[in-house]
Amino acid sequence: MNRTGQIATALLLTGVTTFSHSATETFDTDKATFRLKMVAEGLAHPWALAFMPDGSQLVTERNGSLRRIRNGQLQEDPIKGLPELVVSGQGGLLDIILHPDFEQNQTLFLSYAHKISREGLTTRVARATLNGDQLEEVDVIFEAMPRGDTGRHFAGRMAFDGDGHLYVAVGDRGEMDRAQQTDDDAGGVHRITTKGEPAPGNPFLDDSAVNNTFFTYGNRNIQGMTTHPETGEIWSHEHGPRGGDEINIIRAGNNYGWPKVTYGIDYSGATISDKTTLDGITAPLHYWDPSIAPSGMAFYTGEAFPDWQGDLFVGALKMQKLVRLSIEDEKVVEEEDLLEDLGERIRDLRMGPDGALWLLTDDSSDGKVYRLVPAQ
């Protein structure tokens, strides 16, 4: 055990559960030595991060606030003009992504939970124009239907492809069978234009039995989504139940199997499916059993850590770590666990324009933003 782990163990044995890392502390790994530089703290369940052309960052807080970090300082006043949303269970303000032409049109997209009395909750996406610290021209462009009664599995992760089409993940809402019901928007990835129309070339446009925004289905609860830096394909990961967290490449028309196949079991211990593969079902590129509760993902494309080039990084909530995956020919050939001694739930990962890997940690009142930088 390294010195950090020994200190953490000692603190646990004495009943002290808080653990602070200094900005000068280094972390030695198989292929790199790095340190964490704190950018901001005191956030309430930070969920997603976006990098602005002026060098500032926008951070969503699940409690319904959109915050700006400017010159390393978290601004006290949130961005105004957010769409109407609800904070319920796992739902609230979720992902943020900038329009590919943001510098020209100042347009961004937000995903969030929304509720209508007697009709229930759902995942929505709104398009808005950012004017200073105010959102204007807020327009709801996607709403997953039908609504549900649970506060679980909203998903909400988003990504753009090279054609400027927006991919939106919707969870099964805690009702597993909905993920195989293709006239129900739950449990899949939807591909839309920036105005909310079904994207041209969607795989089910000519199939009346499938909602025409569907790109894939059979997805349980996607909590990470990113664009491959070379192929341009959308990669995702999703939570399994007890076991069976998955990494998938999101390809047109694919059924990823939930709940017909799974490597996990129900939280009660009951069997969900005795199958891990079936004809017509796309197998995951990688899975975890037991679950790590993955959240956030990014390919490393910076120059600070040459041996990490092209590796995929995944955060973990339950297991409180950062996972590095080296992938060749769509197979994981190396897996390394990092930051196990940090003691924080990692909610989101982003590759920054500065070449650093950025992390968000999940906490109700002291969520943090870190940059992962070389130790030198």
At 215-242, the pLDDT tens digits run 999 999 999 999 999 999 999 999 999 9
Dihedrals phi, psi of 217, to nearest 5 degrees:
-145, 180
Altogether, the residues listed in the chain come to a count of: 376
Six-digit token pair at 295? 């959240």
CA torsion angle for 344, 350, 351, 353 (degrees, to 10)? Answer: -110
What's the mean pLDDT in 88-92? 98
Six-digit token pair at 121? 């909750």
Spatial strand order in the sheet of 286-288: 222-227, 234-238, 245-250, 286-288
Decide: 22 and 370 in contact? Cβ < 8 Å.
no
What's the mean pLDDT in 151-167? 98
Average pLDDT, the chain: 94
Residue 122, pLDDT above cutoff 70: yes
Residue 7, pLDDT above cutoff 70: no
Q: Read off the pLDDT band of 376 (50, 70, 90).
A: confident
Q: Which CATH number fits domain 3-374: 3.40.30.10, 3.90.78.10, 3.30.70.1070, 2.120.10.30?
A: 2.120.10.30
- Looking at residue 344, the DSSP 8-state letter turns out to be -
Residue 96, pLDDT above cutoff 90: yes
Question: What is the residue extent of each domain of the chain?
Answer: 3-374
Instruction: Say whether 153 is catalytic.
Output: yes
Q: Following DSSP, what letter does each residue of 129-184 receive, concatenated?
A: EEETTEEEEEEEEEE-SS-BS-S------EEE-TTSPEEEEE--TT-GGGGG-TTS
Determine the pLDDT at residue 38: 96
Q: Which of 118, 119, 117, 137 is nearest to 127 (CA)?
A: 137
Six-digit token pair at 80? 């105004």
Residue 133, pLDDT above cutoff 70: yes
Decide: 167 and 111 in contact? Cβ < 8 Å.
no
Q: What percent of the chain has pLDDT over 70?
A: 94
Kindly tell me the sign of the dihedral angle through the C-alpha atoms of 68, 170, 221, 256: negative
Six-digit token pair at 348? 């989101």
For residues 294 and 245, give the distance between their C-alpha atoms in angstroms, rounded to a whole number: 7
Determine the pLDDT at residue 23: 59
Determine the pLDDT at residue 368: 98
Whether this model's pTM surpasses 0.75 = yes
The CA-to-CA distance between both ends of the chain, in Å, stands at: 23
Catalytic residue among 45, 99, 153, 237: 153
What's the mean pLDDT in 273-302? 98
Q: Which is higher by pLDDT, 7 or 225?
A: 225
Residue 336, pLDDT above cutoff 80: yes
For residues 238 and 372, give the distance between their C-alpha atoms in angstroms, rounded to a whole number: 24
Determine the pLDDT at residue 176: 98
